[in-house]
Chains A and B, each alone.
Chain A
């Protein structure tokens, strides 16, 4: 079983739609959680950290459920520019940032 699992997609949604991505992780000792965005043939870039209380950044909302070992990302009012791969990321590495990435979920927003 992979340490971080995501549905690879692709998710094809029209502009303006709301889309949700889910992710599960296997290591209950994991300490930090993130969503990264990766455009085609580019490096991953931090989208947002994920906290147990849930957090929001504009159109993006992230949730963490430690009991279920489940992380989610909600994108409201999708834009064409949101088209990318979204990587679920877990840090189980103690003091260092030894991040474990999911395979990513590809999102394509269309007109």
Chain B
């Protein structure tokens, strides 16, 4: 399978704990995006990378959230001191620079439940 891969697919954590999600984009896609989707809403943009550079962050990305893409390949999204409001599906997506129509390709998502 050469699609966008995310791990773990499901995570249940206690409030206050830290969690980390990993995303492996489609090979040779130099742009990588993180989105968050809560129940009944569409995905919301969090941040994106071009290669290893984080070029934009949404205001939704509070200081408890940090994303990295150290070698320009896989990326991690860490949430510190989780809150119940962080419960959501975290979606990773990728595309190549100048991709056709700027289409992005999503992974299957990582579901987070904070209890």
**Which residues of A approach B to under 8 Å, CB–CB?**
4, 8, 31-32, 34, 41-46, 49, 87, 89, 91, 93, 95-104
Contact = CB atoms under 8 A, between A and B. Distances in A.
Nearest to B99: A97
Interface of B: 31, 33, 40-45, 48, 50, 55-56, 89, 91, 93, 95, 97, 99, 101-109, 111
A32 B104 CA distance: 12
Contacts, number: 62
A102 B42 contact: yes
Contacts of B31: 96-97
A96 B55 contact: yes
7 contacts: A34-B101, A43-B107, A44-B91, A97-B93, A97-B95, A99-B102, A100-B45
Nearest to A43: B106
